[in-house]
Amino acid sequence: MVAVASAVVALGAATGTLTALGDDADDGGRDTERARPKAGATLVAPSPPPSPPPSASPSVAASTAKPTPSAARTTSRPRAAAAPVSLYRHPESQILDWVRAHPADPRADVIESRIASRPAAVWIADYAPDTVTARVRAVTAGGAAQGRVPVLVAYAIPERDCGGASEGGAPDVDSYADWIDRFAAGLGSREVVVVLEPDSIAQADCLDESGRADRFAALARAGRVLKTANPKARVYYDAGHSGWNAPAEQAALLKQAGAASAASSDGIFSNVSNFHDTADEAAYDRRVLDALGGPPGLGAVIDTSRNGNGAPADGEWCDPDGRKIGRAPTFATGEDRIDAYLWVKLPGESDGCKGAAGEFSPSYAYELASS
């Protein structure tokens, strides 16, 4: 990955990230290179019967059909803040595994109460077409059973992370299209938030012109497929973060990727796996949305998982000291055009300095939760 990524080392060798309990509520330039999940070391929900590692779908037949976008979808969606339901906390994650296995650890109560009890995204991050549908379905079915909204991260774009620490993804755009079809087949019919391919747009300058065109077309199609499969799905596109591209520059890229179309997008996400202050991100996201145009209903979601103290002044991205967890995940932001604060990155998963990239570090989690 290039020297400006927003840090997506959100996945570890364990299964899905946090599940969601309720809605609660602190929170930083172009950063240096950041680590991401490696193929095969990602946080994903287990499929119904077994509990495999990443994106999985036992049912292949349902995913081979490639849904077409619904031309009728031109109206804006209701604002997320008005949603009467709360976020879903999936019961499988590295942090929950650790808490269950270490009840006597003096750090356990703090980690459990301040991190493990919060809702967080579930990453579907390795290229495993045969199991992705079941893995997605396990998460959406769990949310439906509780009447809560799950958050899923689709993370398998070809040439992911530009060959950086989280390299991997589908081998080509056709394979990715099939993978997305299978992902969409597990979305069900209830509300679900999909964070579509972190850094895929902000970091696209590592590709040549043809590669960028292919990627943006793949992302535009992905959004249409996801929303056609489940009209209640909220799909958000990569806006990087407030220290990366200028708002107008990022908006121009987002538009090429379909983020301004109601048929494929509900808006943008920012700060995934990064540390930038929530107020800075909200101001930045509104400027991006203004430049993006599109339906008035487009909004933004912000990753607040580790931004409680903002970003380090020196731009350090790899498990920097002095950080803390930010505002708890919620749809009730009270901020215009900000649909939700989410924990997309699971606090305690290392960027590669305080532990292996993507793996849970109890000492790091305790540092974030007790700061």
Residues known to be catalytic: 161, 199, 351
Of the candidates 161, 108, 90, which has an alpha carbon nearest to the alpha carbon of residue 329?
90
Rounded to whole angstroms, the Cα distance separating 194 from 126 reads 16
Tell me the backbone φ, ψ of residue 77, rounded to 5 degrees: -90, 160
**43 and 94 in contact (C-beta within 8 Å)?**
yes
Rounded to whole angstroms, the Cα distance separating 37 from 327 reads 24
Beta bridge partners, 301, equal: 269, 340
Of the candidates 199, 245, 237, 291, which has an alpha carbon nearest to the alpha carbon of residue 29?
245
For helices 278-292 and 247-256, angle between their N-to-C axes, nearest 10 degrees: 50
Beta bridge partners, 193, equal: 151, 234
Which residues make Cβ contacts (< 8 Å) with residue 250, sequence separation at least 6?
201, 202, 239, 240, 244, 288, 291
**180 and 54 in contact (C-beta within 8 Å)?**
no
Rounded to whole angstroms, the Cα distance separating 76 from 66 reads 24
Tell me the backbone φ, ψ of residue 126, rounded to 5 degrees: -115, 160
